[in-house]
Structure 1
Amino acid sequence: MIKTINLQCHLQGHTSPHQFNQVQGVVFDKDGTLAQSEGFLAHLARRRARRVDAMVPGTQEPLLLAFGVERDHLNPSGLQAVGSRYENMIAAAAYIAETGISWFEARTLAQQAFAEADAHESAKASQTPLIPGVMDLVQHLAAAAIPLAVLSADSTANVQEFLQTYELDTYFTQARGIEPPLAKPDPAPLLHLCQDLGIAPAATLVIGDGDGDMAMAQRAGAMGLAVTWGWTVTPQFSQTNIVVDRPDALQVVAG
């Protein structure tokens, strides 16, 4: 028999808590949800934009705007914050193509620029620390004996390295990235994950920091909880009004 629990959360700007009933499993996003990634992602976006500009002068500033780099912070709803590496690379190729370069060459240049920029980065996990309070939340949920998983726009290798680095891997039954051309909010990766976990999508809670996470949950028929705790500027959501600002806002409650 599959175990179920009830979860209650205290929402931003609401006096009454929201309750998720009969939850069979919880699926976390990684960057901005488990990992404090803003500084790393902003730095990486700047490095990529500089490499593209070195090949195609005049593209750096438009690319930074497209990536969501805004002065001293990263737009939490921008392309670099919520998109995959593949999506960011295709966006860069589009800006290169806008200069009159053929699409084949533009895509090749973008791939080369990203490869050069990314090669200078050390292990991502070491630069994206665990968000304060997240370990307590993970342990609290794990103690309820339901399966926990990670589903991220990052690569599976980076997801697993992050969990191992911060000693989270023993708490998670599954840890996956989403391989291109699939991307959030496509529900297929979440549906496959639920199938492998042996839980019903309708009894699955997705916790993430972007509209893509929430739309993916909706399309899969799952529940969604949006979080703002990983960003300097508070993310805004159009796909849900169930939003919390700290990890201890979510608690297991008696049925």
Structure 2
Amino acid sequence: MSPSTEPFPGSAVAPVAQLRLKGVPLGLVQAVLFDKDGTMSHSEPKLLALAEARILACLSQVGSGHRARLRDLLESAYGVRAGRIDPAGITAVASRMHNLIATATAFAQVGLGWPEALNRSEILFDSIDAAAGSEPASAPTTKGLAPLLLALDRAGVVLGVISNDQTHGIKHFLAAHGLEKHIRGIWSADHLPAKPNPLAVHHFCAQLGVDPGACALIGDADSDLAMAVAAGIPHALGYTAGWATKPKLAGGHLLIDHWSELTVQATDPANHA
């Protein structure tokens, strides 16, 4: 899918369904936009393994006198703490490129010049990606996701994924779990602007033919929710069950602790003519 560069043209879809959270009506929506990692996908084990592989590869590139400091820098940057991933850390929420830049910065702090630090980071990331294979095992879905997507789809709600993963990673995850049939579109790290720029939401909504003012966006990070608010999405919902350490989200947002708490009811189109 190629990025949209046209301004938001207006909605081609009427609000079709009423969302309820824990039985309380939220409002009519045309579409629901989902973050992927930590929201649709239980990605923590996979991301932890990836972060640890990157750390070990980096440590092999420096002398023994620098390894303890480099490990501390990388664990802090990646958000690796006591065998868990910090839901607010860059491994959890940032793009591959942002993780690569953070890695190069850690190398620079133990004495490498920036060109060498960046080059080593790029080589290591490419090597680890190649070792994982073109289609690594997909992370499992968060519990109860598939029935919710089915219910939303049947109610006529347009569904999209907006993520800092790359397009092929999103497509692989959806296909591995048979979810691609429910998803109308993807906005990934390959698209510009990318999350958390609010314009990413506007361009994605234009691509989907929906109005941001009639959407919900569900994510597990403050950056997701702030982006949604800035883009004019009225229902910015925090999902809390995707990580071993429950994400600490800013106040003022409704939270989902299990997908069964979110329900949908189709409306009569004649009421919105």
TM exceeds 0.5?
yes
2:254 maps to what in 1? 242
Aligned length: 249
Select 1:23's aligned residue among 16, 25, 29. 29
1-10 or 71-80, larger mean C-alpha shift:
1-10
Alpha-carbon shift at residue 202 of structure 1 (Å): 1.1
> Could you say if the C-alpha distance between residues 90 and 44 of structure 1 is closer, same or farther in structure 2, counting changes exceeding 3 Å?
same
| Alignment RMSD | 1.9
- Would the aligned equivalents of 1:29 and 1:208 in 2 still touch at CA under 8 Å? yes
Residue 100 of structure 1: how far off its partner (Å): 2.9
Is 2:95–2:165's contact at 8 Å kept on the other side of the alignment?
A: yes
Q: Percent of pairs identical after alignment?
A: 33
Q: Does 1:142 align with 2:153?
A: yes
For residue 10 of structure 2, what is the aligned residue in structure 1? none
| TM-score (structure 2 length as normaliser) | 0.85
Deviation at 1:137, TM superposition (A): 0.7
Judge conservation of contact 1:214–1:240 (CA < 8 Å) in 2.
Answer: no
Give the stretch that moved more between structures: 96-105 or 71-80: 96-105
Match of 2:224 in 1: 213
Q: Give 1:20 shift.
A: 2.4
Q: Which moved more, 1:29-38 or 1:50-59?
A: 50-59
Whether 1:154 and 2:156 are equivalent positions in the alignment is: no
The AA in structure 1 aligned to 2:241 is W
Query: If you compute each CA radius of gyration, which structure gives the higher value, 1 or 2?
Result: 2
Measured in 2, the distance between the counterparts of 1:76 and 1:18 equals 27
**Counterpart contact for 1:178–1:189, Cα < 8 Å:** no
Listed as ranges, the matches of 1:49-68 within 5 Å are 49-57=55-63, 58=67, 59-68=70-79
C-alpha distance after superposition, 1:83-106 (max 9, x if no partner): 111111101111111123222221
Choose which of 211, 218, 239 in structure 2 pairs with 1:227.
239
Q: Which residue identity lines up with residue 152 of structure 1 in the other structure?
A: S
TM-score of the superposition, structure 1-length normalised?
Answer: 0.91
- Higher normalized contact order (CA 8 Å, seq sep 6+, divided by chain length): 2
Q: Which residue does 2:105 correspond to in 1?
A: 94
**Aligned-partner residue type, residue 129 of structure 1:** P
Say whether residues 1:34 and 2:40 are aligned partners: yes
User: How many angstroms apart in 2 are the aligned matches of 1:237 and 1:129?
Assistant: 23
Structure 2 unaligned blocks of 5 or more: 1-12, 268-273
Deviates more, 1:217-226 or 1:177-186: 177-186
Query: What residue ranges of structure 1 are gaps of 5+ in the alignment?
Result: 11-16
Partner residue in 2 for 1:192: 203
Maintained 8 Å contact 2:155/2:266: no
